[in-house]
Structure 1
Amino acid sequence: MSILDPHDEAAMVQTIVVPRTHDLGDGFEVRRALPHKERRMVGPFVFLDQMGPHVFQPGQGIDVRPHPHIGLSTVTYLLSGEISHRDSLGTFQDIKPGEVNWMTAGKGIVHSERTGPQVRAAGSMLSGLQCWVALPQSKEEKDPGFSHTGADALPVIEGDGATARLIAGEYFGKRSPVPVESPMFYVDLQLAPGARLTMPAEYPEQALYIVDGTLDLGRDGRFGPNQLVVLKPGASVTLGALQDAGARVMLLGGEPMDGPRYLTWNFVSSSADRIEQAKEDWRAQRFPQVPGETEFIPLPDLPGRPVRYP
């Protein structure tokens, strides 16, 4: 891992985040890069989890019971495997690698995420990322919604050993059809061995998360898997894969949010009082239900008021 020199004015890297790892059972690990004490948000991104990779034996899988959200959009993107999504709008949608599930919570939504029965019976590998994107204050209480976008509908930029799939927002002169509520970008970049690509400074806040391989950032150093590298404002960097191995990197960021956000459990809002109301509503089961599901995740013991970011 590169060690940052705070006195190096020519450096392009501002912060390095090493995610915390959580074992959700049976060895299934999730790495949480955002929020982190070193960096709370990047553009509208307030949450970034990497799931797996993990091999589920036949009969095994994930079962994330119904739980609520407000004030954000969840973005699910898989690298391998399959997840079945259900929500309180009546949506039922399987998601596969390269596709995008974009769920906007707005004033309130409930959803579950599970391994489907056929995939569970056969056994599978699961690997992917889930992000939360905070909504602008004017959209925090909008009606909830859900959008699924197939892999073939996402713009792809290719050349010189680099393949970039634009998951959401605008970048590299392209726009994704995934509906977003604020200026942002989210890109799945794959570099062949020895390939290089310049990451332009299109937004004030930009970062990259290394999924696989080693990334060479020139004078800023080399960075291995499972690190979130936050760039300085206005930084344009050249990303390079090593000569003997490729790399896979998620590029993300956008415009800074229109004010701080509070975050507690699955709730994000510009108002701490609104989060307190959401906690009480879930405790009293006033959120809408997911059709066909009777289980739910109870509100955990949450001491104190919501945490303010940044």
Structure 2
Amino acid sequence: MLDLVIESRMASLSPQMKVKRILPFRLKRMIGPFIFMDHAGPVDNISIQQATEMDVLPHPHIGLSTVSYLFGGQVTHRDSLGVEQIIRPGEVNWMTAGSGIAHSERFEDPSSLSGGLEMIQTWVALPEQDEEIAPSFANYTPDQLPVFTDKGIWMRLIAGDAYGLKSNVNTNSPLFYLHVVLQKDTPFALPPEHAERGFYIVKGAVEISGTIYTEGKMLVFTKGVDPLIVAKQETTLMLLGGEPLSERFIWWNFVSSRRERIEQAKEDWKQGRFILPPTDDKEFIPLPNDKSRPAGSAPKPEPLS
């Protein structure tokens, strides 16, 4: 059965960068190991000034992998390992924070955004035994990712395994993550082999059991259920899920199975103990205040389960 429909909520990453936030959600904190999902754009006709205002300044992460995937435009990634990587549509940037990393995302070539910027970013929580591994970064080009086509169906396996396909992207736990395009009236089904499954409607609409669901919604399904999904028009979906992890806590950009580890990460960032990207170290995002509590009251990490 359909467990839940998650309506995306608007959030702001910078003055010009507005996103649809899908995960975490109060009734469904994680789907498999996926604990965060943002959909940015589409944004068209971007000026040089607007592109600069969209930049996400250097900021820290622990205990997770960030996964960036573009439909349009390009983004320049820089991190504290010294990596500088331009990510383009169809590529995968997989950055594993582990014990700690800082990175920035810059929109430095407005001409590359003339066709519109649109991207999805997800975070994948690391298993407890991997939460403190050394940080790493990998970029995968489209030719390194499996693609499957059938009548009315096109799909790219971004990571994990599904539908008999297996991605070369290195992951730390069983999962699947796919970009799927369906033509109008095409039937489709979820991969049955994973414990937790869901899909986000990037654009278009689908019908399930007589109900139509439109873009901006995430649908989550019970294990063992194999819904018949029919595209009502040309539709783009992002499918994700996998094996669930134990309880996680999240605060800002930090994820951990231990509250005290997040408190340590907060203090490390506040005291400047994270290394900034060597070619982007002149500015950074300060540790945010928790405005929901009185001054001097330390915010508690939010549990994810």
TM range, normalised to the smaller chain?
over 0.9
> What residue is the counterpart of 1:39 in the other structure?
28
Q: How large is the Cα RMSD of the aligned pairs?
A: 1.5
> What residue is the counterpart of 2:275 in the other structure?
288
Letter in 2 for 1:90: G
Provide the rounded CA distance (Å) in 1 between the counterparts of 2:126 and 2:82.
22
Q: Pairwise mapping of residues 1-310 of structure 1 onto structure 2 (< 5 A)?
A: 12-24=1-13, 28-59=17-48, 60-61=50-51, 62-116=54-108, 118-119=109-110, 123=114, 125-219=116-210, 221-242=211-232, 245-257=233-245, 259-293=246-280, 294-302=282-290, 303-310=298-305
Residue aligned with 2:228, SS: strand
Provide the rounded CA distance (Å) in 1 between the counterparts of 2:15 and 2:34.
29
Judging changes above 3 Å, is the alpha-carbon distance between structure 1 residues 263 and 187 closer, same or farther for their aligned structure 2 residues?
A: same
- Given that residues 46 and 132 in structure 1 are in contact (C-alpha distance below 8 angstroms), is that contact kept between their aligned partners in structure 2? yes
Provide the rounded CA distance (Å) in 1 between the counterparts of 2:139 and 2:110.
20
- Given that residues 63 and 255 in structure 2 are in contact (C-alpha distance below 8 angstroms), is that contact kept between their aligned partners in structure 1? yes
- Given that residues 9 and 22 in structure 2 are in contact (C-alpha distance below 8 angstroms), is that contact kept between their aligned partners in structure 1? yes
Stretches of structure 2 that go unaligned for 5 or more consecutive residues are 291-297
Identical columns (%)? 44
Report the CA distance between 1:58 and its aligned residue: 2.6
Letter in 2 for 1:29: K
Report the CA distance between 1:23 and its aligned residue: 4.2
Residue aligned with 2:132, SS: coil
Stretches of structure 1 that go unaligned for 5 or more consecutive residues are 1-11
Judging changes above 3 Å, is the alpha-carbon distance between structure 1 residues 132 and 198 closer, same or farther for their aligned structure 2 residues?
A: same
Residues 75-106 of structure 1 show CA distances to partners (whole Å, capped at 9, x for unaligned) of 00011110000000010101111110000000
Q: Single out whichever of 265-274 and 49-58 deviates more from structure 2.
A: 49-58
Q: Single out whichever of 135-144 and 188-197 deviates more from structure 2.
A: 188-197
Residue aligned with 1:199, SS: coil
Residue aligned with 2:85, SS: strand
Residue aligned with 1:166, SS: strand
Provide the rounded CA distance (Å) in 2 between the counterparts of 1:22 and 1:308.
20
Instruction: Give aligned pairs, total.
Output: 294
Residues 168-212 of structure 1 show CA distances to partners (whole Å, capped at 9, x for unaligned) of 111111111111000000000100111112213211110000001
Provide the rounded CA distance (Å) in 2 between the counterparts of 1:26 and 1:299.
17
> What residue is the counterpart of 1:5 in the other structure?
none
TM-score, normalised with respect to structure 2: 0.93
- Given that residues 29 and 54 in structure 1 are in contact (C-alpha distance below 8 angstroms), is that contact kept between their aligned partners in structure 2? no
Residues 24-55 of structure 1 show CA distances to partners (whole Å, capped at 9, x for unaligned) of 56664201110111211000000000001111
Letter in 1 for 2:190: M
Provide the rounded CA distance (Å) in 2 between the counterparts of 1:93 and 1:13.
39
Provide the rounded CA distance (Å) in 2 between the counterparts of 1:157 and 1:225.
23
Provide the rounded CA distance (Å) in 2 between the counterparts of 1:273 and 1:58.
43
Q: Single out whichever of 152-161 and 21-30 deviates more from structure 2.
A: 21-30
Provide the rounded CA distance (Å) in 1 between the counterparts of 2:104 and 2:142.
22
- Given that residues 81 and 127 in structure 1 are in contact (C-alpha distance below 8 angstroms), is that contact kept between their aligned partners in structure 2? yes
> What residue is the counterpart of 1:7 in the other structure?
none
Judging changes above 3 Å, is the alpha-carbon distance between structure 1 residues 253 and 144 closer, same or farther for their aligned structure 2 residues?
A: same
Report the CA distance between 1:238 and its aligned residue: 2.1
- Given that residues 5 and 220 in structure 2 are in contact (C-alpha distance below 8 angstroms), is that contact kept between their aligned partners in structure 1? yes
Provide the rounded CA distance (Å) in 2 between the counterparts of 1:74 and 1:295.
21
Provide the rounded CA distance (Å) in 1 between the counterparts of 2:64 and 2:47.
34
